[in-house]
């Protein structure tokens, strides 16, 4: 993007902020990027859910803001509507141009029991290509983070790889580019594009099934890179042995290194993913709201994040806080019924306790000896021991780094009080009901 349009885009952003308001701008328009001005068309890009919402709701505001800065009417298009100029040039030569997603980094990847080995292997490959696992084959159902890891490897190498070249491509784009090179007699350029790199990342390799010529070309590309000591990382929706439509020799190449999987995240990991996404996108959501989504959307990460965005949109449209009530309404509107059990966490216990006693979390875990605060803290400690599987030392650390004997004392006190005091029993039952609403 030229300096002139870059400057103009900054002015357009200011005009948008004034026209739609600070909150709406930060939520739906701030993530957009300008790819350039192609004639009378301003080409924008952004996260898929943000781009879709901006296209549907804010296209007139975008056109008005652009016209006020550029002093003539322009059309607004998004990257998934039409290819930007650079991509168009690449496609005309039969070679795919794939932009890396800057959000897909190792820092933004949430590690859980379902993906720990795949993450560790991908990071090892990024830090020391060809020295750890070559090839690395990551498999699992769609929407669980395989593409995220490939982009994370590429982003890491581009930032810290000391000039190493890395290329990401989907198997579908590889196939289309190969077919195009046959028609244009550009096979030499095609081979150089994919073989003259230090690291090649191939996504969704199952697309090659029953595509004999593309499969053969992939086999030769794979061999060329491997024999030259280059790194290969491949993702797929199943194990190499289960790729029935691909020749045995290529399946053997895929399985020659480390084969690891990514599976559906558990409830704790789903909640952690939502917390990180909310923090990254500056979304103000209660812990209970995130817990409801984590409990009711258990298919994959893509569906999980989509549910959060839809809830944000509904809350924004109606001017309501993003709490568990708006989340349940949003999920119901989108046909999500039923719930998967979500393990209660110490953080959930603390938030529910704070809600019941109208305290801040800082006050709850503070050293305050005020009777009401001390009682609330002891109830939270009691419930943390009763409802989670964490050890006493771990619970103690989550309550301001206390000693485990403090947790044991609190548990004994509350255990006694709930038997002899109706108000104590009422406190414990009320907080337990709050937790059941999100578990």
CATH number for the domain that contains residue 410? 1.10.1750.10
Instruction: Please say if the pLDDT value at position 85 is more than 50.
Output: no
Are 139 and 235 within one domain? yes
| CATH code for the domain in which residue 313 is found | 1.10.8
Last residue of a domain, one of 223, 239, 261: 261
- Shared-domain flag, residues 10 and 37: yes
pTM, full prediction: 0.59
Same domain, 128 and 203: yes
Within a domain: residue 164?
yes
Instruction: Decide if pLDDT at 236 tops 90.
Output: yes
17 and 152, same domain (yes or no): no
Q: Quote the CA–CA distance of 75 and 56 in Å, as a whole number.
A: 14
CATH code: domain of residue 219: 3.40.50.300
pLDDT number for residue 82: 44
Tell me, what's the pLDDT at 96? Answer: 55
Mean pLDDT on 102-123:
91
Number of domains in the chain: 4
Tens digit of each residue's pLDDT (9 = 90 or more) over 293-350: 888 888 888 888 888 988 888 888 788 889 888 888 888 887 775 544 557 889 889 9
Q: Are residues 243 and 274 in the same domain?
A: no
Strand-pair category, 231-236 with 166-170 = unpaired
What integer pLDDT is reported at residue 98 of this predicted model? 61
Report if residue 90 sits inside a domain.
no
Q: What is the pLDDT of residue 438?
A: 53
Helix-helix angle 171-184:187-195, to 10 degrees: 150
- What integer pLDDT is reported at residue 74 of this predicted model? 84
Q: Which domain holds residue 353?
A: 346-436
Same domain, yes or no: 224 and 163: yes
Least confident of 73-82, 314-323, 393-402: 73-82
């Amino acid at each position: 993007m030229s300096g002139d349009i870059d400057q103009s885009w900054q002015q357009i952003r200011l005009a948008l902020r004034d026209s739609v308001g600070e909150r709406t701008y930060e939520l739906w328009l701030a993530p957009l990027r300008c790819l350039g001005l192609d004639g009378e068309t301003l080409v924008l890009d952004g996260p898929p859910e943000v781009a879709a919402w901006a296209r549907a709701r804010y296209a007139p505001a975008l056109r008005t803001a652009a016209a006020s800065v550029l002093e003539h009417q322009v059309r607004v298009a998004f990257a998934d509507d039409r290819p930007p100029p650079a991509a168009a040039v690449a496609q005309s030569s039969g070679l795919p141009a794939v932009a890396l997603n800057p959000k897909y980094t190792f820092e933004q990847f949430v590690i859980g029991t379902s993906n720990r080995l795949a993450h560790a292997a991908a990071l090892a490959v990024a830090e020391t290509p060809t020295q750890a696992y070559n090839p690395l084959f990551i498999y699992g159902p769609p929407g669980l983070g395989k593409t995220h890891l490939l982009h994370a490897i590429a982003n890491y190498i581009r930032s810290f790889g000391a000039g190493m070249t890395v290329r990401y491509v989907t198997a579908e784009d590889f196939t289309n580019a190969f077919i195009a090179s046959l028609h244009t007699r550009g096979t030499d350029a095609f081979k150089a594009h994919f073989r003259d790199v230090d690291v090649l990342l191939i996504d969704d390799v199952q697309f090659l099934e029953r595509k004999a010529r593309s499969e053969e070309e992939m086999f030769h590309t794979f061999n060329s890179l491997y024999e030259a000591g280059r790194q290969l990382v491949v993702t797929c929706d199943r194990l190499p042995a289960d790729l029935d439509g691909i020749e045995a020799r290529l399946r053997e190449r895929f399985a020659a290194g480390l084969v690891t999987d990514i599976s559906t995240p558990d409830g704790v990991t789903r909640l952690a993913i939502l917390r990180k996404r909310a923090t990254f996108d500056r979304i103000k959501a209660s812990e209970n709201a995130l817990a409801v989504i984590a409990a009711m959307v258990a298919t994959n990460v893509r569906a999980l994040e989509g549910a959060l965005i839809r809830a944000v949109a509904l809350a924004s449209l109606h001017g309501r806080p993003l709490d568990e009530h708006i989340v349940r309404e949003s999920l119901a509107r989108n046909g999500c019924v039923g719930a998967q059990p979500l393990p209660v966490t110490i953080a959930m216990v603390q938030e529910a306790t704070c809600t019941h006693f109208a305290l801040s979390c800082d006050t709850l875990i503070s050293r305050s000896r005020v009777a009401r605060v001390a009682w609330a803290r002891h109830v939270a400690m009691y419930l943390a021991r009763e409802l989670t599987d964490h050890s006493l030392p771990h619970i103690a650390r989550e309550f301001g780094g206390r000693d485990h004997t403090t947790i044991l004392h609190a548990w004994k006190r509350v255990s006694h009080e709930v038997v002899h005091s109706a108000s104590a029993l009422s406190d414990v039952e009320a907080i337990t009901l709050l937790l059941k609403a999100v578990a």
